[in-house]
Structure formats: C-alpha cells, structure tokens
Amino acid sequence: MADTNLPNAAAELAHHEAIRRARLRVAERITDLVGNTPIVRLRSFDRATPGVEIWAKCEFFNPGGSVKDRAAYQMITDAIRSGALAPGKTIIDSTSGNTGVAYSLIGGALGYPVTLVMPENVSWARKKITQAFGTKLVYSSPMEGSDGAIHLCRKMVAENPEAYFYPDQYSNASNPLAHFLGTGREIWEQTDGRVTHFVTGIGTSGTVMGTGRRLKAYRKDIHVAAIEPDDALHGLEGLKHMASSLVPGIYKPAELDEIIPMPTDEAWDVADRLARDEGLLVGHSSGGSMAGAIRLAKRLVAQGKQGVVVTLFPDRAERYFEAPVADPVAAAAR
C-alpha cells in the first residue's frame, strides 16, 4: 500500500502532469481517465447563503459513471502489484451496483473476468450495464440488502478461494487510499485551498474517510461531515445506516467531525431540485449529500461566518431507472 504522507516534489510533478493530460483528454487507455473530475458551483443554492459558497464534485464524469471507479481501480492495481490478483483469477465482490460497474469496466480493460454478488432488487439499469461488460451476476436475497450480498460473496470465496480475488471493498485500505491520493487532492487544488467544509454520504465509507484525511493533512480545521440515512428502512440506495448494518472495516467515525442523519424525503426533494434548478440529474445519494451541504452552509450563515462547502455527487440518476413494464392489455390490443 502506498505511503499516505503528503507526496514529495517528484510525486507532485507527476500529479500535475496527469492533471494536464486529463484536461487535454489524452489517455493511453480508458482507466487513465479515472479521476480528475470537474467541480461545479451551485449558485441557485448558495444565493440563499450569502458569504458561503457551495460546490459539488461531479464523480459521474469518471469513465464508469461513478465515484466507485476510483476505489475499484486502486484496489485492483494494488492487488496486481502485490501479486494478490494474478492471471487466471476472477475478480469477485459484493456490490449494490456502482462498484460493480467499475469492476466490470476495469476488469474488461485489464483482461480479468468479473463476478458480482448483488441484491436481486438493484436497479435494472445497473444489472444491464454490468452484464454488457461480460460480467457474471449472482443475486442475493432482496430482503437482506447489501449485507446479504456480503455474506453470500464471502461464502462463495470460502468455498473456492483459489478461483477468486476478493477485494472486499468494505475492508480494503486501498479504497480510502484512492480518495486520499485523488479526490482530496483534487478538491484542494480546485478550490485553491479555500475549502472549509467537506460533506458526503457513507456507503463503504471510503470516500469520506480518504478525502477527509487528505483535506485535514492540508489543514486540520477543515470540517469533514458524513451523511447517513436516518432510518434502517430508507430509500437512499448506496448509503448505509450504520446502526443496522455490517460496519465496514475501513470506517473510522472518530476521524469525522460530524455525522448527519438524513431523511429520505429531504434527499429526494433536493435531488429533484438539482435537476430542475441546476440541470444536474443525479442519484438520491447525491441529493442527500447536497442536503447536508445546505445544512452546513446555513449554519455558517447563522453563525455569521463565511466558507466554502464542497460536496460530492457519486453518480447520475439514470443508474436508478427501471425497465418499462409491459401493459398486457395494450400488448393484446396490438
């Protein structure tokens, strides 16, 4: 695993060269386009919070369409370097969708087969996207959510350990490392070091942990907040209600400044407003993160303070679209 100290001068030069090439859209292969995503100011929202800017990191610009490209690529390339992933092995992991798409894209690009274990009720769109890469899908009970997929995946690996490389995104240190090396550095550079607050949702927790560590390495007083659903029976796909879930091994809540419980309705309403007022058609977890950013911005205003609040949009809304259901009456009439 790479050192998590701030990079030396040579590494910084390499980072800047990578950014330059990314801006020119020059890539030797599709995986070179992971990261260096744009950040956008949300003026229709921060007009209500004078003195406090609100920005969003648009992770749907990753080649696989979500923030999970970062962690998946880091976990796979670290495993190749260490020898844990060798030719002939199949990449396997449990996922609610976005990490699965990322594994599928990266596995295809690097020449490794992929098997995914996911709850049967994940969106139709994400099932079809992963299958288009040639990925094998194994479904767990929809009643058991992401935890059921984790249990089934572990059982499959235990029964045939030589066949699989199991990254285990919930416990793999390379997951937050991807965000320490990439996401956090990019946010710092894109805001010219002005960022005061960072807020995003908890799924595996890799994004908030790794990004938060990097931002606090730059300046310890940057406030890092995590969004989690306020109830076990929530409607924010991809996010975890920790009290009722298997807690990821990489989750270190003591490193966070704040955890914000988020009602499903509030997150959905903000996601709708993002589409209507900003032209950003994002998933409901993005709506939850944005709702958290609004709360932080309003708090700063109430305290008479200025700030730069940055949130992160993991994906776009079409990942959650369902296939149309045929109308049997209309079909019979035709």
Q: Are 315 and 67 in contact (CB under 8 A)?
A: yes
241 is written with which tokens?
């209600």
| Ramachandran assignment for 326, one of left (phi > 0), alpha (psi -120 to 50 degrees), beta (any other) | beta
With a CB cutoff of 8 Å and minimum separation 6, the contacts of 246 are: 147, 150, 170
Of 68, 96, 104, 146, the active-site residue reads 68
Q: Cα(62)–Cα(68) distance, rounded to whole angstroms?
A: 9
285: annotated active-site residue: yes
Output the CA–CA distances (angstroms, integers) from residue 181 to 48, 76, 185, 201, 240, in the order listed.
33, 15, 6, 19, 24
Q: Cα(291)–Cα(200) distance, rounded to whole angstroms?
A: 10
Q: Cα(157)–Cα(170) distance, rounded to whole angstroms?
A: 15
Of 94, 140, 146, 285, the active-site residue reads 285
127: annotated active-site residue: no
Q: Which residues are catalytic?
A: 68, 285
